[in-house]
Amino acid sequence: MFENLPKFVFFTGKGGVGKTSLACATAVDLVDAGCRVLLVSTDPASNVGQVFDTDIGNHITPIVKVPGLEALEIDPEAAAEDYRERIIGPIRANLLGNALNSIKEQLSGACTTEIAAFDEFTALLTEQALTARYDHIVFDTAPTGHTIRLLKLPGAWSGFLETGGDASCLGPLAGLEKQRERYAAAVNSLSNSDLTRMILVARPRTSSLSEAARTYKELAAIGVGNQQLAINGLMPDDALDDALALSMINRERSAIAAMDADLASLVQSHFYLRPENLVGVDALRRMNQPVNKIQAEPNHHGMTDLPSLSQLINGIEDAGKGLIMTMGKGGVGKTTIAAAVAVELAARGHEVLLTTTDPAAHLHETLAGDVSRLTVSRIDPEVETQRYRDHIMQTRGASLDAQGRAMLEEDLRSPCTEEIAVFQAFSRVIREASRKFVVMDTAPTGHTLLLLDATGSYHRDIMRHASDTTARMITPMMRLQDPKQTKILIVTLPETTPVLEAARLQEDLLRAEIAPYAWVVNASLAATDSAHPLLVARAKTEIAEIERVQKSLSLRYAVVPMQADDPVGAGRLHCLLKVR
């Protein structure tokens, strides 16, 4: 599939572009060529286990159907628990209850969870006893924004340790200090072209290729130079007189021709759209083979009267205000659905704020212009972190002497500061929903769950120290749990793995006492009239997944048809509201 791969191979890119499929297929291809391979997922919402129909989890697991292949899904929560125990275990017997509880509290946040997962990641790059067992270690990474942050962490934490910072992350730093040499080695491995290759995966879409170009530049800026481009999911050239197929082909070829010049200069590999879901070893082995001709069948779709997004918005509109959050795995179209809902509510005369917590989201590109009664914002981690640091220095730092201010500034350079800053911005946006409609496009599942975890931790802390005054407070978590104030839309694609992942997300939300309002099944071929044999075959695979959503996963749902044109701009976003 790919030639002359080095020891470490990373697949990264915008969510939903096929990173997992390509990573899994590459791992199988390498094993078939006689190599011993470890396949690692760093995605908090990993689905490698579903692809191989194997329970993998946070430990190295042999893939029985592919002798020579082992896999690991880095589970942030399990990693955090192991990490906490490594720090607390040796000193537990010497600590009084209050001191022990204080350390546990310091190690309970999302920051520790991120560091723990990162700690496992660096071990896979640097521990000779582990890496020597394999010819290749293939990484299936989280969606771009999360991955860029992960790859920047070696430098961020190394720099923080070099300056001696320690105040706000005492617990995490107790472990980080011991790993200083490992983090330096990880930085060297990532920047060594003989050891590491970064494969940027993109769909043949303008937005996806633009994201790949941004990723290329960000990776190059941190010293990751050995990159190549994989364009996945291309339509075959023969449109067979089908309007949707012809439009998809023209759109894809135009996007490729107009891609960023630096991105276009990379070595490229192209992979065509498959008629099947890429689940199972046999399907993975077929991924790099030609697509066989498939005969269309009469009445091929078998689904009628599918509920539309417009019908779903009717129910949302009744409240006249409130928070609407689109959630789901990366690449399922959360940004597009959020924009379509916001534009439609504004068209109906409501004041609407459209915002995002996704580091890789670009709402302005989706809207492609101003919309009356619609305001757009973004919770930018860098901006929010700087705003938070400035506020702390102007308040807490105002009464400190020069030495005290220097210590406070050092403390605020901790990467953990970002967690607090983003949560505060998130809370401000939630409060806006008490006056108007706020439509929030969230980061991919794993990142969003970490944000909700921080929200829940804040809520529990407030309730634990509640007085008569604070008992009457409405915390952000309470707003999220109130169906009158918040409506969660789980967005998915009509494919096996995205639906399984969305179901897992729903279970996580329900455990937090947050009940999703509805599901949105996006980019459905079964909701179109295409007669192209390949698209017909894909449509047939969707039926069971749409029926599963309808019968067992949600009381409300909507189906959004695959679009002939990129849904960019208010006019094309409006096309998402209706099915055929």
**Active-site residue flag, 68:** no
Specify whether the CB–CB gap between 314 and 486 falls below 8 A.
no
Identify whether 159 is a catalytic site residue.
no
Rg for the chain, CA atoms, rounded: 24
Instruction: Report residue 16: phi and psi, to 5°.
Output: 80, 5
Q: Is 571 a catalytic residue?
A: no
What are the CA-CA distances from residue 494 to residues 135, 195, 520, 562, 573 (Å)? 36, 38, 10, 11, 19
Q: Is 301 left (phi over 0), alpha (psi -120 to 50) or beta?
A: alpha
Instruction: Check 19, 334, 487, 540 and give the catalytic one.
Output: 19
Tell me if residue 446 is catalytic.
no
The angle formed by the CA atoms of residues 426, 58 and 381, to the nearest 5 degrees, is: 20
> Scanning the structure block, which residue is given the tokens 């890429």?
278
Question: Cα 167 from chain centroid?
Answer: 30
Active-site pick, 18, 171, 322, 331: 18
Given a contact cutoff of 8 angstroms between Cβ atoms, the answer to whether 121 and 38 are in contact is no
Report how far apart the first and last C-alpha atoms of the chain are (Å, whole number).
38
Is-catalytic flag, 21? yes
Which one-letter amino acid corresponds to residue 73?
E
Catalytic residue among 12, 20, 26, 168: 20
Strands (E) across 22-135 are located at: 37-41, 61-62, 69-73
Query: Tokens representing 463?
Result: 């309730």
Catalytic site includes residue 7: no
Sign of CA dihedral 50, 516, 337, 458: negative
242 catalytic per annotation:
no
Which of 12, 13, 14, 21 is the catalytic position?
21
Q: Measured between alpha carbons, how far is 551 from 118 in angstroms, rounded to an integer?
A: 39
Angle (CA) 460 461 466, round 5°: 95
Burial class (CB in 10 A: 0-12, 13-18, 19+), 516: buried
Is residue 31 within 8 A of residue 68, CB to CB? The reply is yes
Going by C-beta distance under 8 Å and a sequence separation of 6 or more, which residues neighbour residue 551?
A: none
Spot the catalytic one: 16, 171, 330, 397.
16
The active-site residue out of 206, 492, 497, 524 is: 497
Amino acid identity, residue 35? C
Bridge-based pairing state of the strands 486-492 and 322-327 = parallel
15, 29, 42, 43: the active-site residue:
43
Cα–Cα dist 300/292, whole Å: 18
Sign of CA dihedral 399, 404, 406, 411: negative
* Catalytic residue numbers, as ranges: 16, 18-21, 43, 497
